[in-house]
Amino acid sequence: MTHMPRLADLEDQSFDPFVVEKLSTGDCPDPHPKIHELMARGSVHKGSYRDLFTDVPDVQMKGLNHYMVLGYDALQRVLTDPETFTNRDAFIYNLGVSFGHTVTVMDPPEHTRYRRVFQKAFLPQVVATWGEKYVDPVVSDLMSKFIGRGKADLIEEFTHHYPFQVIYRQLGLGPEQAPIFHKLAIAQVLSSIGAPQGRESTAKLGAFFQELLDLRRANPGDDLVSHLALVEVDGERLPDDVLISFLRQLMNAGGDTTYRGTSVLLTGLLTHPDQFAAVASDRSLIPQAIEEALRWDGPVVMTWRYAARAVEIDGVEIPKGAIINTVLASANRDPSKYPDPERFDIFRDRSVRNLAFATGPHVCIGQHLARVEMTRALNALLDRLPNLRIDPDMPAPDIIGHTLRVPEHLYVRFDAA
C-alpha cells in the first residue's frame, strides 16, 4: 500500500458528534404507534414526520412545505416515479450539504449515467469476494476481545464498530486514523441541525479523499478507492467530485445503516429464542431472518422526495414543490401486506418485498454489501459463541429512534472459549 494522507481533526477536538447525533436521530422508543395512527386516517398527511417526535429543528428543511406519505402502495408509487417525485430538490438541503455531488442528490439522466458505474463496482459477485478479504478479519479481531469472557455488550463491543472497520480496511486506512475518520464521518450530517462541525467535517474529508484518489490513480492497489477510481462502463469513469461525494457518504450509508441493521437482527433473534435456535440449527434460514429484521425495524424509518409537479395520491392533492416524507417503516409494517406486522417472525410469507432499502431507481447501491456483512456477522457469532443468549441480569435491549433505529445495548451471555 502506498502513502496514506493524514486526516485533520476537528478544530474543537472536545466536540463529540456521537452524542449530538443522538439528539438529531431521536430517542423515541417506538414511532410505530404514531405511524399506524396516521395510516388509519389516510396515506397522505400535511406536515413533517420529524416534527411529530422532536423539537430539535432540522435547520436545512425548516419552513419547507412537507407532506407525509405512508403505506406500501403509496410509497411504491412515489419511489418508482422519479419524474414526478425527484431527488435533487429534496436532498440538496441535507445530503447535498453534507456529502456534495453524490448520486443520492441526482435525477435522471445524470443519476442514470453515474449509477451504472457504481452498480458495476458493487455487483453481488464483486461484493461477495469482499467477505473473506475485508469482513472476516474484522469480525475475528473484534470477537477476540470478549470471546473468553462469557459475556458482552454486542452493540458497544461488536456491531457499533464492525461495519466501520470493514470500511477502514476497504479504504486502506490505518488504525491510528480510524477514530478521527469515524468522528468526521458522523459529524458531517450535523449540518442539518446547524452544527458548524458539519461543514468543517465535509471539507476535511473532501480534502483527504482528493489526495487519496490522486495517489491511488497514480499507483492503484487492491483497495476500494482504487477499484472505484478505475471502474468504468462504456468507457466512462466517475469524475472526482462524484466519487469524493460518494466516499463521504459511504461511512454513513454503508457503515451506519449496516451497524443498525445488524444490531436489530441480533435483537430480534435473541429476544425470540425459538427463532434463534432455528437459525442456529439451519443456517439456510439466515437470509430470511435478515429480511425479516429489515422489515420489522429497518435502520432508516423515513427518507425524502420532491414533488416536481402537483399530484394526487389517494384523493389528497400534493402541490408542486412539496417535500415528500416517505415513511419507509409504514410500508414495512403495512397490515394490508404483512399480517400481524408488529410481530418478528422469520417464517412469515416473503412474497411482498420489504422497502428497507427503498425501491425504484434510487434503491440502495450498497444493499448487497449490507446483507453480506449481516450474514457473516451472524454466522461468526453462531460459530464462536456457543449457547448465546440474552443476559438476564442486565437491562433488556430497547430499539430507539424516530428516523434511525438501533438498540443502545445488547447484553448477552455465552459459554466462554
Q: Identify the pLDDT of residue 120.
A: 81
Q: Which residues pair with 240 in a beta bridge?
A: none
Q: Which residues pair with 406 in a beta bridge?
A: 400
Torsion of CA 56, 251, 360, 69, to 10 degrees: -10
Radius of gyration (C-alpha) of the chain in whole angstroms: 21
Q: Is the peptide bond before 109 cis (omega within 30 degrees of 0)?
A: yes
Beta-strand runs (E) in 244-344: 302-307, 311-313, 316-318, 323-327
The full set of domains in the chain, from first to last, is 17-413 (1.10.630.10)
Positive or negative: CA dihedral 376, 380, 382, 383: positive
Contact 24, 398 (CB under 8 A): no
Lookup: cell for 12 = 474543537
Contact 104, 349 (CB under 8 A): no
Return the number of other C-beta atoms located less than 10 Å from residue 259's C-beta. Answer: 23
Distance separating alpha carbons of residues 335 and 265, to the nearest angstrom: 21
Q: Give kind and range of the element (H or E) at residue 412.
A: strand 411-413
Distance separating alpha carbons of residues 327 and 332, to the nearest angstrom: 9
Torsion of CA 330, 159, 170, 11, to 10 degrees: 90
* 6 CB-near residues (< 8 Å, 6+ apart): 177, 208
Lookup: cell for 322 = 412539496
Side chain identity, residue 111:
H
Q: Identify the pLDDT of residue 224.
A: 83
Angle, vertex CA 354, rays to CA 396 and CA 362, nearest 5: 115
The position carrying cell 456491531 is 159
Distance separating alpha carbons of residues 355 and 75, to the nearest angstrom: 9
Angle between helices 257-270 and 286-297 (to 10 degrees): 110
Return the number of other C-beta atoms located less than 10 Å from residue 218's C-beta. Answer: 9
Contact 366, 246 (CB under 8 A): no
Residue 27: name the closest of 299, 296, 402, 327 by CA.
Answer: 402
Residues of the chain with pLDDT under 50: 1
Contact 106, 200 (CB under 8 A): no
Contact 209, 102 (CB under 8 A): no
Q: Identify the pLDDT of residue 255.
A: 81
Distance separating alpha carbons of residues 324 and 318, to the nearest angstrom: 9
Lookup: cell for 231 = 471502474
The position carrying cell 492503484 is 220
Contact 272, 242 (CB under 8 A): no
Q: Identify the pLDDT of residue 25.
A: 66
